[in-house]
Amino acid sequence: MCGIVGYAGTRECGDILIDGLRRLEYRGYDSAGVAIHTTNGVERVRAEGKLANLERAFRDTPLHGTVGIGHTRWATHGRPSEANAHPHMVDGFVVVHNGIIENHMELRDELEAGGDRFESETDTEIIAHLVARERPKTDSLLEAVRNTMAQVRGSYAVVVMNADEPDLMVAARQASPLIVGLGDGENFAASDVPAIMMHTRDVVFMNDGDFAVIRRDSVEFSDTSGAPVTHTAKRILWDPVSAEKQGYKHFMLKEIHEQPDRIIDTMRGRVSLETNHVHFPDMALDDEVLSSVKRIIILACGTSYHAGMVGRYAIEKLARVPVEVDLASEFRYRDPVIGEGTLIVAISQSGETADTLAAVAEAKRRGAKAIAICNVIESTLTRVCEGTIYTHAGPEIGVASTKAFTTQLVALYLLAIWLAQERGTQEPAERIELLEGLRRIPGQIEKCIQDEARIREFARNYVDVHSFLFLGRGMQFPIALEGALKLKEISYIHAEGYAAGEMKHGPIALIDDDLPVVVVAPRNEHYEKVLSNLEEVKARGGRVIAVTSEPAGDVLRHADDVMTIPEVPELLQPLVTVIPLQLLSYCIADIKGTDIDQPRNLAKSVTVE
């Protein structure tokens, strides 16, 4: 989680670092700091809380210099505080780190036994102590960092400076993202592209085990043995404007509004208008692997897992391949059985989620092939999988996933249609009808978004409740889970998603007028049954918010508040039923005044277990 920026050049770097951190704040935002080579050696400014606090502190105590590093933190070891904020400094050796040092306790005990004194509760400070211990024994800072990293177990992206070597920084990567930006007379290190893309678009994505010595006029890469490594820079072509709010009050609202366009981007180039065939020109995976698929396991976390649950329905229905969906964090530890012909589909917005990466590694170790459905280009997941279906959602900055989810759904529908097309399990006429339905979805989502003002009106009645229940059946069950997740993460109201058919097996005991129940009931094969569930809630004095197809008809008689969706093919309904739920969560949170884009305790990219 945590964001890193480093700069070596000829410009004053304070603002460059802080501006870069602002663009990485989605990775963590509980404290931040910068360290810069000044005429007095290396000096630091750190602050607890949001980046704005660091900016204020930096204005009060500006540091001048042209080589420096910065960090925005999501606490893992030690509470958010100035003392625990990075950079950590020991005898002039300064470190920023993203990841977790798993053997930190034993290393700390050993260092303390040798007389080292620690200033923080972090695992990161150990790295600074170790580099300080290693440097006198070696010829270079690079060697000292290499020897240090050989002693630690875990994941890291680190950048290290030494007060006595003012013109360079050393970077290292193992299972946490790190890139190097190549400029003209200046070079950068960062956790992610947006941090540096206003300065350079030529970027090297470091691999696990890579080390880099970064100076203003050169960058040298090497591996764990010290052998030189050659990397070719990639040119980043996407538009930095999409990482701005563009007049919306929150990134989340902007991203909700962007969904129609981003879904068009997900489909672009993948559906032939002439032949109505689906193809993935950018996904390298040999036909033999695909034609021999006997079973699919979808692995993901959080919202991406909910997308996977919808994907299971679509793939099984259209392609008749058995599909399992597993939480990556569970799969990796359950000694999974991977038979012949198992294809892993790993879904991740960031492509950096530690559990998803570990689950894919485990499956591959047992012989499975893996493809990714991913948003972030060149992220780690895309590089460990045999092929990737990029969602092309553009940068998602709001911590609560919205456009990442709907574009993942579209990618899954395309995968399902494509598998059916290749396996001959769907009539061409049905495929054509479904593809036409998909093409109409952006306009239909647009229509749902126009309901925001009305949703905001009735959302006021729900801001003071303590708990919500979300119910859905079939493909709407994952949507109920997703609705509950959205509400809890941004409004801090407890919410639970349940399969509507399970209500009588327990949760019905909770129902009274203090527990609003959101029932996802579009017109489909489960409509009558879900309507009965809705009536059961009403009969027990519960308040009901329903999502249904227009015209709302029967639902109007039983629900207190209704959000409607246009008529869409049943299989595609999740793409539109989720929109009112996103808006409901957004409106409730906005009326409550929570920090919607950066909710407490969360981070956008969960790069630790």
* Least Cβ distance, residue 589 to ligand F6R (angstroms): 12
When binding is defined by CB under 6 A, the residue of 177, 302, 311, 394 that contacts ligand F6R is: 302
Kindly determine how many residues on this chain lie close enough to bind ligand F6R according to the rule CB under 6 A: 14
What is the spatial distance between Cα 440 and Cα 53, in angstroms, rounded to a whole number?
46
Q: Omega before 87 cis (within 30°)?
A: yes
**Which residue is listed with tokens 């996977």?**
308
Considering the complex, state which of residue 72 and residue 303 has its C-beta at the smaller distance from ligand F6R.
303
C-alpha angle 387/392/395, rounded to 5°? 120
When binding is defined by CB under 6 A, the residue of 206, 301, 371, 434 that contacts ligand F6R is: 301
Q: Which stretch binds ligand F6R (CB under 6 A): 350-358, 426-434, 444-452, 503-511?
A: 350-358
The mark string for 579-608 relative to ligand F6R (x by CB under 6 A, - otherwise) is: ---------------------------x--
DSSP run (H or E) holding 370: strand 369-374
Q: Look up 13 and say whether it is catalytic.
A: no
Q: What's the chain's Rg over C-alpha atoms? A: 25
Identify residue 350 by its one-letter amino acid code.
Answer: S
Q: What is the largest CA-CA distance in the chain?
A: 79
What is the spatial distance between Cα 405 and Cα 574, in angstroms, rounded to a whole number?
10
* Least Cβ distance, residue 348 to ligand F6R (angstroms): 3
Find residue 467's DSSP bridge partners.
494
* Least Cβ distance, residue 119 to ligand F6R (angstroms): 31
Q: Which stretch binds ligand F6R (CB under 6 A): 34-42, 112-120, 343-351, 560-568?
A: 343-351
Contact 490, 477 (CB under 8 A): no
304 binds ligand F6R (CB under 6 A): yes
What is the spatial distance between Cα 126 and Cα 371, in angstroms, rounded to a whole number?
37
Positions 401 through 440 that interact with ligand F6R (CB under 6 A):
401
Identify residue 158 by its one-letter amino acid code.
Answer: V
Strand pairing class (211-215; 202-205): unpaired
Contact 96, 69 (CB under 8 A): yes
Positions 455 through 514 that interact with ligand F6R (CB under 6 A):
485, 489
The residue among 106, 72, 89, 67 whose CA lies nearest residue 1 is 72
Closest-approach residue to ligand F6R (CB): 302
Q: Which stretch binds ligand F6R (CB under 6 A): 49-57, 132-140, 193-201, 342-350?
A: 342-350
Strand pairing class (165-174; 211-215): antiparallel
Considering the complex, state which of residue 400 and residue 596 has its C-beta at the smaller distance from ligand F6R.
400
Positions 377 through 406 that interact with ligand F6R (CB under 6 A):
400-401
Set 254, 369, 538, 604: catalytic member: 604
Q: Which stretch binds ligand F6R (CB under 6 A): 74-82, 300-308, 536-544, 592-600?
A: 300-308
Active-site residue set = 2, 604
Binding site residues, ligand F6R, CB under 6 A? 301-304, 348-350, 353, 356, 400-401, 485, 489, 606
